[in-house]
Structures are given as structure tokens and as C-alpha cells.
Amino acid sequence: MSAATVPPEATIQGGAAPRPELRVPSSGWRVIAAKEFGDHLLSVRFIVLLVVLGLAAAIPLYFAADRIRAAATDASTIPAIFLYLFRLGSEQIDILRVDAFVGMVAPLLGIAFAFDAVNGERSEGTLPRLVAQPIYRDDVINGKFVAGMAVIGLVLVAVVGLIAGFGIVRLGIVPHGSEVARLAAWVVATFLYVALWLAFGLLLSVVVRRAATAALIGFGVWLLVSVFGSLITTIVTGFLRPSSDADIDTILGNAQLTQFIGRLMPSKLYQEISLVILNPSQTQVSAPTTIEQVQQGQQRIDPLLTTLTLDQSLLLVWPQIVALVGLTIVCFGLAYVAFMRQEVRA
């Protein structure tokens, strides 16, 4: 038998054994997520942000404790009294509410856990070694995003649990099943809101090479949207305000335009979602479009006697929820595509 007809199996007899085939694990993102999750829990960043978010929830609760205790005496006539822990503020400063403060501070969680997710690995020189492991390249960015969401969910549940425990032990307010369901829905909505900022921070970490620059951009955008967003909306709509002698159709059209401009801010979307979910008496969030709707709003009966179920409230703010989810998908999609197209050099 000539050498040309020798089967391949015969050529390796008595020689070196064949090298085993390397298989890429199908759950490589879980390995990355578990490692990142452990690093987050042991970091000083996690402790600091947990304390900041806890103070953001405790300070409004302290100022509103007397009002909540007074309202608890009339619990039979007030719907969802337990939710007052999260939406009732101080008599002097109404913005001192748990939902308002959480909506303002919680985005810091998303930015802080993602602004150096990729560029931090690149600056330390560990990114080439990370992508050289037997995992798919997209497992890196997927695992980092999942780890950030897991840490954010843990922090939110812990803070909400502390507030609920304070209301039960200190104020003696026991929640009903519908109130627990609304509170869980609000936690999920807050989780989606913070996930948007997490995806935005991840996008910055991929596009911007320096972690410090990404942090400045992320915190600057947060400050612009969460703190000065309403001021910017007021200034823009002030130029579009109709004259005092305008007809009712012009006034209604300007109200719709003002509302549309305000909803370009993610903080406004989250504010409307929190308002409806935490208050079953809230039956509308959109400005009236016709004179009939204005008249119906004026003739509406006592809001304390008009309450919505949870599914009705979710249906009312479903467009806002879809908008938050869509913005999160867009930010994460841009980060994913940019990371997959980048060249990683050793």
C-alpha cells in the first residue's frame, strides 16, 4: 500500500496523540456575570451607592412620617394607605418624596456600575486576555450587563424592603395584597428605569476610551436630565406659549406639545409611571385633547372614590413603559454593535 493510500488513522499510530478539540461554552456570559457580580458586591462603590440610595429614601420618609401617621388613623377612608410611604412628602417641600428621590438618585447606580465596564478592562490591559478565552466575544458585554442589572435589582429590593419594614414596625401599617402587587410593579418599573442608565453607561464605556471621561459625560447627562430636565422643558415651552387671547383649541394643542416635549426626558416617563402605579386614584396622565375631555375632568367625582386596579393602572402607563424598554434596547444595542466592531489589540 502506497503512502498516498494510507488512511489518516494509520499515520498517527505510534506518534503523538491528536489535540482535543476546544469547545466554546454556551453559557460563557454566566461566567462573566458571576465574576462581575462578585466584584461589584465586594467593591467600595457598591457600599457607597447603597448608602446614598438608602439616605435618598430615608430622608423623605423622615419628613413625611408625621403625615403618614396622621393618615393612618383614617385608613378606612384612604385607599392604599401603605403606598403613602413611597409617595407622600413633606408639607413644606412636596418634592421630599421617596419616589421622587429614588427617581433622581437611582440612575447613579446604572452609570456607576457601567461607565468603566469595558474601557477599564482596556486601560488595565486585561481586555485582550479576556476575549482570548474560549468564550464568544459577545459574552463579555452580555455578562457585564447582566451583572450590573443583578446588583441594581439587589440594591432596589433591599432599600424598598427597609422602607416597608419601617412602615410595618414603626408606623403599624400593614399592606394588603393589592398594595404589595403595586409596590412590586413599581420596583420593576424602577429597575427598568435604572437599566436604561446602565445601558447608557455601558455605551459610554465602549465608545469612550478613558473611564474618567466616560464618568464625566454620564454624570453630566444625568445632572442635565434628572435635575435640570424640568427647567429645560419650562424654558422651551415658554417660547411656544400661546397668547392670552388664543382660542381653546390652541391652548389644548400647546398643552399637548408641552407634554410631548417633557416626555422626551426619561425622568418624566418614570415620574408618570410612579405617579400612576403608587396612586390607584390617579386616572389620567395625558393632557386633554378636546373640550369634552376637559369638561369630563371637571365633572369627575371625588378621586378618593375612583380607584383603578393594578392592570388598569399599568394599561394607563403602558406607552411610558414601552418607551423606557425601547430606549434601553437602543442604548444596549448600540453598545453591543460598537463593542463587536472594535479591534482589541494585545
pLDDT band for 105, please (50, 70, 90 cuts): confident
**Inside any domain, residue 99:** yes
What is the value of pTM for the model shown? 0.81
Residue 152 lies in a domain: yes
Residue 9 lies in a domain: no
The reply to whether 255 falls in a domain is: no
- Domain for residue 162, yes or no? yes
Whether 74 maps to a domain, the answer reads: yes
| Four-CA torsion 249, 253, 311, 172, nearest 10 degrees | -100
Task: Give how many domains the chain has, as a whole number.
Answer: 1
Structural domain includes residue 322: yes
Instruction: Determine the pLDDT at residue 202.
Output: 93
pLDDT in tens, 58-99: 777 777 777 776 666 655 556 677 888 787 766 566 667 888
What residue type is 206 in one-letter code? V
**Which tens digits make up the pLDDT trace of 283-327?**
877 655 555 544 455 445 445 556 788 898 999 999 899 999 999
CA dihedral 206, 217, 261, 308 (to 10 degrees): 70
Domain span including residue 145: 27-227+263-291+302-341
For residues 218-231, average pLDDT: 82
**133-183 pLDDT, tens per residue?**
778 888 889 999 999 999 999 989 988 888 888 878 877 777 888 888 999
- Average pLDDT over every residue of 264-281: 88
Whether residue 297 is contained in a domain is answered as no
